[in-house]
């Protein structure tokens, strides 16, 4: 990468589109190198007390601008997958379950980035940095849902494969506020985790190490500007070619109801960091207009971690499965699969109305018939599950993930919307036999009953909170959208640093990996030349 030309004035050196794990890393590291940085975030600023007390407060939990809901969780439904993603200053860190595992070796030696570098070795120091910055720590307190998973591990002969989760949470004295414990006083005050289980509706106790408390906070201290509620709709090279002299970035309000004000700035470089749904959909549109040099592989190699989400509800009221952090433990069920119990805080039972008995079938009629049979054969059990007093208190959501690979393609339809299609391998499945088997065994341990999201039972559409790829690495534009240092093929001073850059299936929660790869990408950017 070349140093910027100094004979042209721009409003900023870098504009970063998105403030999630990749965007926040970029904001801090570019600011440290002397660049003038602007971060544009579609979502809102949220302080600890702005988060909803439960997910029944849909207006502050869900992102649905058409209904005037400006929360932190966005739900997007495609033909082949339902995607849960984060929105707000701090991106997915506001709503994710804090878990920061490192992938197994398979991840580093597969996919379109295979052979571009010795990834496992080269990324090692950047994983270390990411863990330090995100305050990764071993969960010190197992709740009933974790202890049930531990018992399942013992019963299946996998006791040595169970472990407390590595998470981005401050485990000081419960509820006690202390000066910055991470960055020699440069960070904000923090408070010890209360183990309330409310991580995924936004931490109201200042214990979750979300990005606004580390990378973004430190970047602001170095002069980075963060503008919330701004949605980018155009990035145009000033030279009409490869962006050698910079770009014009156009954006508008994402929350204004009528005629949102449009703005524009010029910048020498651009970092796309809006996550798969933000970056891929924007770049697909720009490839048709202002960025025609983008790779034809744009939108390919989208992965879902091959997940299954199964809620298990205790039906006799004997267990408090909400006690703990959002994900407190992990079980490596085999070389390719992992199981984690996920929880919400007491009172956060909105999901109950979107759950149905777990069934599978080749078509809608077959699935409806099997659903009806569940109600006919187990009416009392299903009534108890449906009308349990506090769904979140009584429910553990089992997250099953696999390394096994298949990919989707995202593309624009004739109306400008985004569609999904199967690109390689089998389509993601709403029914994974191994996951269902483990859920049944776990259900017996917690005296519960398994349910799934209604679109899985009715339409066979699986759900994921870990959508990845679409702007993957490749040795050239015929293989990938970006090179091994995250630079976009065909354009200068343009990078992608978010989940869309992930070029293989990690098989585990990807936040730490996105952070580490972004750290490496920023390490390749030279110091600003002020001469």
d(CA 438, CA 155): 11
CA distances from 25 to 263, 271, 472, 496 (A): 25, 11, 19, 12
- Decide: helix, strand or coil at residue 52: coil
Q: For residue 377, what are its two tokens?
A: 């054969």
CA contacts within 13 A on the Cβ side of 510: 37
d(CA 163, CA 502): 26
Burial class (CB in 10 A: 0-12, 13-18, 19+), 67: exposed
Strand-pair partners of 400? 308, 339
E strand intervals along 303-358: 308-314, 329-334, 337-342, 355-357
Strands 63-64, 247-253: pairing kind? unpaired
Ramachandran angles phi, psi of 116, nearest 5°? -75, -25
Strand-pair partners of 468? 303
- Decide: helix, strand or coil at residue 56: coil
CA distances from 496 to 89, 265, 272 (A): 18, 19, 5
Task: Confirm whether 205 is a catalytic residue.
Answer: no
Contacts of 344 (CB under 8 A, 6+ apart): 55, 197, 198, 200, 201, 322, 326, 351, 392, 395, 397
Q: Is the dihedral of CA 319, 313, 431, 78 positive or negative?
A: negative
Count CB atoms within 10 A of the CB of residue 24: 34
Ramachandran angles phi, psi of 191, nearest 5°? -130, 145
Catalytic residue among 10, 60, 466, 487: 466
Query: Do the Cβ atoms of 344 and 198 come closer than 8 Å?
Result: yes
Query: Do the Cβ atoms of 484 and 113 come closer than 8 Å?
Result: yes
Contacts of 300 (CB under 8 A, 6+ apart): 407, 409, 423, 469, 470, 472
Strand-pair partners of 202? none
d(CA 146, CA 400): 14
Contacts of 374 (CB under 8 A, 6+ apart): 357, 359, 382
Query: Do the Cβ atoms of 186 and 180 come closer than 8 Å?
Result: yes
Nearest residue to 526 via CA among 154, 80, 61, 30? 30
Query: Do the Cβ atoms of 14 and 507 come closer than 8 Å?
Result: no
Q: For residue 129, what are its two tokens?
A: 């940095």
Query: Do the Cβ atoms of 432 and 398 come closer than 8 Å?
Result: no
Point out the residues that are catalytic.
466
């Amino acid at each position: 990468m070349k140093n910027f030309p100094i004979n042209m004035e721009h409003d900023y050196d870098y504009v970063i589109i998105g403030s999630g794990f990749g965007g926040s890393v970029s904001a801090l590291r570019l600011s440290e190198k002397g660049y003038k940085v602007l971060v544009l975030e579609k979502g809102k600023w949220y302080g600890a007390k702005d988060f909803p007390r439960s997910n029944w407060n849909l207006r502050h939990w869900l992102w649905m601008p058409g209904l005037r809901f400006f929360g932190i969780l966005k739900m997007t439904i495609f033909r082949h997958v339902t995607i849960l993603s984060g929105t707000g200053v701090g991106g997915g860190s506001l709503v994710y379950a804090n878990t920061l595992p490192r992938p197994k070796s398979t991840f580093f030696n597969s996919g379109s980035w295979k052979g571009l570098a010795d990834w496992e070795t080269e990324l090692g120091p950047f994983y270390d940095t990411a863990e330090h910055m995100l305050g990764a720590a071993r969960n010190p307190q197992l709740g009933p849902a974790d202890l049930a998973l531990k018992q399942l591990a013992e019963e299946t002969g996998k006791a040595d494969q169970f472990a407390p989760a590595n998470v981005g949470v401050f485990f000081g004295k419960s509820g006690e506020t202390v000066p910055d414990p991470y960055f020699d006083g440069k960070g904000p005050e923090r408070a010890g985790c209360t183990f309330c289980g409310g991580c995924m509706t936004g931490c109201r106790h200042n214990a979750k190490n979300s990005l606004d408390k580390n990378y973004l906070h430190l970047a602001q201290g170095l002069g980075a500007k963060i503008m919330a509620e701004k949605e980018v709709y155009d990035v145009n090279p000033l030279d009409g070619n490869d962006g050698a002299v910079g770009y014009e970035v156009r954006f508008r309000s994402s929350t204004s109801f009528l005629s949102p004000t449009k703005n524009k700035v010029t910048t020498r470089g651009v970092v796309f960091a809006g996550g798969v749904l933000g970056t891929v959909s924007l770049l697909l549109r720009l490839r048709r207009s202002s960025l025609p040099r983008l790779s034809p592989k744009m939108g390919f190699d989208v992965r879902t971690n091959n997940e299954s989400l199964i809620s298990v509800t205790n039906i006799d009221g004997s267990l408090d499965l909400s006690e703990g952090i959002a994900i407190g433990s992990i079980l490596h069920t085999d070389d390719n699969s992992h199981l984690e119990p996920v929880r919400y805080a007491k009172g956060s039972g909105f999901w109950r109305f979107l759950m149905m008995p777990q069934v599978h079938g080749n078509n809608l009629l077959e699935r409806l018939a099997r659903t009806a049979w569940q109600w006919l054969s187990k009416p009392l059990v299903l009534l108890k599950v449906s009308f349990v007093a506090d769904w979140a208190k009584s429910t553990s959501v089992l997250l099953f993930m696999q390394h096994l690979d298949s990919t989707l393609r995202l593309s624009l339809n004739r109306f400008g919307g985004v569609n999904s299609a199967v690109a390689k391998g089998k389509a993601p499945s709403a029914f994974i036999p191994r996951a269902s088997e483990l859920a049944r065994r776990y259900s017996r341990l917690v005296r519960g009953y398994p349910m799934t999201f209604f679109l899985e039972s009715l339409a066979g559409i699986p759900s994921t909170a870990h959508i990845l790829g679409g702007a993957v690495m490749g040795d050239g534009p015929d293989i990938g959208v970006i090179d091994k240092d995250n630079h976009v093929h065909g354009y200068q001073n343009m990078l992608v640093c978010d989940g869309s850059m992930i070029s293989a299936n990690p098989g585990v929660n990807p936040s730490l990996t996105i952070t580490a790869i972004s750290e490496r990408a920023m390490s390749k950017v030279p110091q600003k030349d002020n001469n």
